[in-house]
Amino acid sequence: MKQFILILVTIITLTPSFAQWPGVNYHYAKMYLTNVDSEFTKPLLPVYNGKLEDNVMQPGVVISAEQANKAVVLANSNMDGLLQGLSKTFFPHHAIVFFNQNNTPVAWISIGFECEGIKLYPERKYKPAKKELPQSEIERLEKILAQFKTIFEQSGVPVYKNNESYFKLGTQQLQLKYANSFFQILKTEHPDSDKRFDLSGLLYWNNQILAIADKKWNNKIYRIDTANRSFTLNNAYVFTDSIEIDIEGIDMDAHNFILIEETGTRIILINKTTGKKTFLPVSWQKSGADLNEWGPKNKGLEGLAVDSTNGIIYFMKEREPRRIYAYHCERDSFFFPFDGIIDPKIENNDISDAKFENNCLYLLERASQTVKKINLTTLESQSVSFKKWETVNGQLIYESEYHMAEALTLTPTEIWIGFDNNNDEVTKAGLQNGLREGNQSVIFVFKRPEGF
């Protein structure tokens, strides 16, 4: 997905006249493109229940107070014909969203330039036309639209002439490798069958798929047996004894499997040949982070990716402060190549796993339901989406208010994405996508798009 440059401005609290729209205080405003994914033909408005909808293209562009005020003035102008709509359809691709000091949307303008219609929240009363508008009135309304268009274009947000141009900006949707190419882990299908199996990591190694889970009784690296498309797990390595652990990510270098243990912020090395366990000493204090502020157990370290050629490990921290920590193993030092590129304030940058391949970092972005590929030389990015497999008509496949994608691995022809359902039950949306009833973790196997 193409990215737009964020325009930084001085933000001041703006107080409109409460006799006019929107009738609420707002702190700043942002412009967004919306409804750019061709897979989803039902257009959505930009905000629902106080949150940006999934159809909103992040990160958006912060606009100046002057531009925001101009938009408000236009919204208060005589534009009843636009509020009713000059055509029978309304398929908006642009929105201006007004936020309060808590970064909560309090008002918005949704605009369909091609269908010549506008919707407002809070809604503004208007008089619907009972007969066809005269040409002079249509031309006057089109001038109002042109002024909105100028605000967007001045901020670098494009306005196109057809839906297809917007759809080119959308994220490519992943497709299953073959029909029903997903696996669910039943309690009877893994060695610790009397306990939950909360999947937390995947790894492609030696033509096999390995898996880990984040409960203390899952002190093993499991091997997935995919024969006949069944899903069974076999012990491969026991990597710890009776200490309490929370394993959240797995990758490897030439000699070792490398695991990240969240509770103790430890890096565990398991020799591929002998199974011997050692720890990689990491001086976290050199990162500038205060681990005491990360919490006693759930510190937010959700995944890692290993560049074995250069001896670099990329650690993914999903909780505030969100950040990617690049660690040079030989130097025992940290650097931050993605600061300023991946905005930690944006919820979509909830990174739950990652992998490194051919000088590219692949990020599992849980909240945006995408896998992002970043070229580490050019810093150019490309994303693919698994949204339609986790969400059906706005409902997630598990009974949870949060997105649950937790594990990522790549083969030459496949992308594997695993979900830790936290023991939540499969929903009607999950059943519609072919999952079985129950509370088992699921892994989807997708075709790997060419060039990704």
**Cβ(230)–Cβ(217) below 8 Å:** no
Dist CA 351 CA 359 (whole Å):
19
Rounded CA-CA distance 305/326 in Å is 9
The pLDDT score that the predictor gives to residue 192 is: 52
Q: Which of 52, 51, 65 is CA-nearest to residue 12?
A: 65
pLDDT tens-digit map of 259-281: 998 877 889 898 888 888 889 99
Position 349 scores a pLDDT of: 60
Q: What is the dihedral of CA 135, 136, 142, 144, to 10 degrees?
A: -150
pLDDT at 17: 42
pLDDT of the residue at 242: 42
**CB-based contact 248:303 (threshold 8 Å):** yes
φ, ψ of residue 380 to 5 degrees: the values are -70, 145
Q: What is the per-residue pLDDT for 400?
A: 84
pLDDT of residue 424: 83
Q: Does an H or E element contain 315, and which?
A: strand 312-317
Q: Where are the domains of the chain?
A: 28-170, 173-447
111: nearest Cα among 136, 68, 75: 75
Closest CA to 95 of 36, 153, 31, 50: 31
Residue type, 96: I
Q: Which one, of 356, 364, 363, lies nearest residue 390 by Cα?
A: 364
- Contacts of residue 410, defined as CB under 8 A and 6 or more positions apart, other chains included, come to 204, 355, 357, 362, 416, 448
Q: Would you state the pLDDT for residue 346?
A: 53
* pLDDT at res. 237: 63
Hey, what CATH topology would domain 173-447 get?
Answer: Hemopexin (2.110.10)
Q: How far apart, in whole angstroms, are the C-alpha atoms of residue 193 and residue 152?
A: 56
Question: What confidence score (pLDDT) does residue 78 get?
Answer: 94
Q: What is the pLDDT of residue 98?
A: 97
Please state the pTM of the whole predicted model: 0.68
Q: Which residue has the tokens 């994303």?
A: 383
DSSP 100-167: -TTS-EEEEEEEETTTTEEEEES-------SSPPPHHHHHHHHHHHHHHHHHHHHTT----SSHHHHH
Per-residue confidence (pLDDT) for residue 373, from 0 to 100: 92
Whose tokens are 């964020």? That residue is 6
The three-state secondary structure class of 240 is coil
Spell out, as residue ranges, where the chain has pLDDT lower than 50.
1-18, 187-190, 241-243, 345
Q: Which pLDDT does position 189 carry in this prediction?
A: 45
